[in-house]
């Protein structure tokens, strides 16, 4: 009898223990599914899909970015725009760049319309601390700065690249280079020490350290590298000097290797701080490849500045340990999906106006299940970049495309004449064989959708006739702060 009671009591106690353990685990899982992650977004500049060892590059080694690929959800058919500002505006608004007035990367046509609500504003409203480090390229006049568009911390260079300067509003601090650049930090320039990519990551890490634990954070790290000019640390160039004959490629690969080192340091810090399981780290590149395509382009046609896959397909890796199971997602996704996805993960409440702004879809169902229902869709690409003062109507068909999950309809005409070619991407990723004659109904359907799209965006071309200031705003501010020196070197 004594043994029986003892056995019953033991079973009862173990039952309570297991119930507590199960309940704790259940509560933790519930809390996890309802948690708002910290978010670190890394966006590189002019690095192509093929410029990663995890995507098959035979020479370049990117072990830390490869780790994001290996440990994350990988979108294998992820579309961006063919150039810098357009992609950035789509990421920030959840809609096509032309609807933001962004039809170029200069000439005031890179400015993100002030009527748009940005992702950073939405995340701020959801209780996030928000910081941007590196490239903005959506307007250099103060009212367009990220600090006025939802970023509480701003640490940026001007124009589309460090040291760039164009007539009008688009320009960086005078004389800037990738080494020791002057950076606009919350409205005032600071003269930094070191290589630009190191500077941006170091500043981002310092900000995360000061912010963590107080509220969830959105950290936007947009490198200027490996965009030209190919200013690279000698020790990074040396890594590839003996592996490729082309000196430009050695510089380009060295710039990417330096980015990869910084990704590794960032991941180590997140681990050291115990933030790994609470932090979603996203890696993307902003458009098709450039210098690196001479070595490897993952079997795709063309590069940056074109409507072909080689100009518009990007890497998109989403790593959130404990929440996202590593897998490939083959569904057609795009930069316009970034905004609604992060808004959902952040638990943001969207106004009717913001919902109406968003054209993209939340990727959350695919992050949870790669085989989730994903209705067919079409995505439009237009390189834009017509001459200043020209009528956009004359360039309707210039360097444009429309695609769905299987087909891409591409026009490379000068603009007014149609020159549609159709490619079956499932059978012909390299886009070598025009199958328009074989699938006339597909051509007709995609062309009709393209025509509707083109007509719909015309009222949103708000920057076409904009007149910029006489001098770059960054130059004016820099000289006001440091005197009329000709450059940062003086």
Question: pLDDT grade, residue 25 (50/70/90)?
Answer: very low
Q: Domain check: are 201 and 231 in the same one? A: yes
What are the pLDDT digits (tens) for 318-369?
A: 999 989 999 999 999 999 999 999 999 999 999 999 999 999 999 999 999 9
What pLDDT does 18 receive? Answer: 43
Q: Is residue 490, in this structure, part of any structural domain at all?
A: no
- Among 251-255, 271-275, 411-415, 435-439, where is mean pLDDT lowest? 411-415
How much is the CA Rg of the chain, to the nearest whole Å?
24
For residue 26, is pLDDT > 50?
no
Q: What's the first-to-final CA gap in the chain, in angstroms?
A: 95
CA distances (Å), origin 193, targets 41, 174, 177, 181, 187: 24, 17, 11, 7, 19
Q: Name the residue with tokens 């507590």.
A: 20
Q: Domain check: are 178 and 99 in the same one? A: yes
What pLDDT does 33 receive? Answer: 41
291 vs 28, residue with greater confidence: 291
Q: Domain check: are 272 and 410 in the same one? A: no
Q: CA 442 to CA 448: how far, in whole Å?
A: 10
Q: Is residue 1, in this structure, part of any structural domain at all?
A: no
Helices 234-241 & 247-272 angle (0-180, nearest 10)? 120
What are the pLDDT digits (tens) for 194-209?
A: 999 999 999 999 999 9
Q: Domain check: are 203 and 324 in the same one? A: yes
For residue 14, is pLDDT > 60?
no
What pLDDT does 179 receive? Answer: 98
Residue that is last in its domain, among 319, 336, 368: 368
For residue 193, is pLDDT > 50?
yes
For residue 35, is pLDDT > 90?
no
Q: Domain check: are 415 and 363 in the same one? A: no
Q: Name the residue with tokens 């080694």.
A: 61
Q: Domain check: are 107 and 144 in the same one? A: yes
Q: Is residue 26, in this structure, part of any structural domain at all?
A: no
What are the pLDDT digits (tens) for 79-117?
A: 999 999 999 999 999 999 999 999 999 999 999 999 999
Q: The domain spanning residue 443 has which CATH number?
A: 3.30.1120.10
Which tokens is 483 given? Answer: 């005197």
Question: pLDDT grade, residue 32 (50/70/90)?
Answer: very low
Q: Domain check: are 90 and 212 in the same one? A: yes
What are the pLDDT digits (tens) for 333-347?
A: 999 999 999 999 999
What pLDDT does 414 receive? Answer: 82
Q: Is residue 21, in this structure, part of any structural domain at all?
A: no
Which positions ≥6 away from 457 have C-beta within 8 Å?
96, 98, 99
Q: CA 265 to CA 331: how far, in whole Å?
A: 32
- pTM score of the predicted model: 0.93
Q: Is the CB of residue 53 less than 8 Å from the CB of residue 61?
A: yes
Q: Domain check: are 359 and 396 in the same one? A: no
Q: Domain check: are 223 and 358 in the same one? A: yes
Q: Domain check: are 347 and 445 in the same one? A: no
Domain ranges, residue 364 = 36-368
What pLDDT does 57 receive? Answer: 98
Q: CA 419 to CA 434: how far, in whole Å?
A: 12
Q: Is residue 67, in this structure, part of any structural domain at all?
A: yes
Q: The domain spanning residue 187 has which CATH number?
A: 3.40.720.10
What pLDDT does 27 receive? Answer: 34
For residue 267, is pLDDT > 80?
yes
Q: How many domains are there within the chain?
A: 2
Which positions ≥6 away from 320 have C-beta within 8 Å?
37, 72, 279, 280, 281
Q: Is residue 152, in this structure, part of any structural domain at all?
A: yes
Q: Average pLDDT over the chain, rounded to whole? A: 94
Q: Is residue 31, in this structure, part of any structural domain at all?
A: no
What pLDDT does 42 receive? Answer: 99
Element spanning 130, H or E:
strand 129-134
What pLDDT does 343 receive? Answer: 98
What are the pLDDT digits (tens) for 223-253?
A: 999 999 999 999 999 999 999 999 999 999 9
65-89 CB burial, b ≥16 within 10 A, e <16 = bbbbbebbbbbbbbbbbbbbbbbbb
Residue that is last in its domain, among 368, 398, 419: 368
Q: Domain check: are 439 and 354 in the same one? A: no
32 vs 245, residue with greater confidence: 245
Residue that is last in its domain, among 334, 368, 402: 368
The three-point CA angle 469-390-140 to 5° equals: 25
Q: Domain check: are 360 and 445 in the same one? A: no
Q: CA 156 to CA 132: how far, in whole Å?
A: 7
Q: CA 427 to CA 430: how far, in whole Å?
A: 9
What pLDDT does 413 receive? Answer: 84
């Amino acid at each position: 009898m004594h043994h029986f009671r003892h056995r019953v009591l033991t079973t009862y106690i173990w039952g309570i223990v297991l119930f507590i353990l199960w309940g704790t685990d259940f509560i933790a899982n519930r809390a996890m599914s309802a948690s708002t992650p910290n978010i670190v977004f890394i966006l590189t500049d002019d690095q192509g899909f093929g410029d990663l060892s995890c995507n098959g590059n035979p020479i370049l080694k990117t072990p830390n970015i490869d780790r994001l690929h290996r440990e994350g959800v990988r979108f294998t058919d992820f579309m961006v725009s063919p150039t810098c500002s357009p992609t950035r505006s789509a990421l920030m608004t959840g809609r096509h760049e032309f609807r933001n007035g962004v039809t170029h990367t200069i000439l005031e046509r890179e400015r993100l319309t002030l009527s748009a609500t940005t992702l950073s504003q939405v995340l701020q409203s959801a209780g996030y601390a928000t910081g941007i480090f590196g490239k903005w390229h959506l307007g250099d006049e103060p009212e367009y700065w990220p600090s006025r568009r939802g970023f509480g911390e701003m640490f940026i260079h001007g124009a589309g690249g460090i040291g760039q300067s164009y007539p009008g509003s688009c320009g960086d601090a005078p004389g800037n280079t990738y080494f020791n650049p002057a950076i606009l930090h919350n409205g005032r320039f600071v003269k930094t020490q070191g290589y630009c990519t190191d500077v941006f990551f170091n500043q981002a890490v310092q900000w995360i350290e000061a912010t963590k634990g107080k509220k969830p954070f959105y950290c936007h790290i947009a490198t200027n590298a490996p965009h030209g000019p190919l200013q690279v640390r000698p020790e990074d160039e040396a890594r590839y000097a003996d592996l490729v004959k082309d000196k430009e490629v050695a510089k380009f690969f060295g710039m990417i290797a330096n980015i990869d080192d910084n990704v590794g340091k960032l991941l180590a810090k997140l681990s050291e701080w115990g933030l790994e399981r609470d932090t979603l780290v996203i890696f993307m590149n902003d458009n098709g490849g450039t210098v690196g395509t001479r070595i490897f382009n993952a079997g795709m046609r063309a590069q940056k500045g074109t409507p072909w896959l080689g100009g518009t397909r990007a890497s998109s890796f989403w790593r959130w340990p404990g929440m996202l199971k590593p897998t490939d997602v083959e569904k057609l996704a795009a930069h316009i999906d970034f905004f609604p996805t992060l808004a959902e993960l952040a638990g943001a409440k969207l106004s009717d106006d913001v919902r109406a702004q968003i054209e993209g879809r939340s990727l959350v169902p695919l992050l949870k299940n790669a085989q989730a229902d994903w209705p067919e869709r079409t995505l439009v690409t237009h390189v834009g970049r017509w001459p200043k003062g020209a009528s956009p109507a004359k360039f309707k068909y210039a360097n444009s495309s429309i695609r769905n999950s299987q087909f891409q309809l591409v026009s490379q005409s000068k603009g007014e004449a149609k020159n549609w070619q159709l490619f079956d991407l499932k059978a012909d990723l390299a886009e070598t064989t025009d199958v328009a004659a074989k699938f006339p109904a597909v051509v007709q359907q995609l062309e009709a959708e393209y025509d509707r799209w083109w007509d719909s965006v015309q009222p949103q071309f708000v920057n076409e006739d904009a007149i910029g200031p006489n001098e770059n705003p960054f130059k004016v501010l820099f000289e006001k702060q440091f005197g009329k020196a000709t450059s940062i070197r003086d």
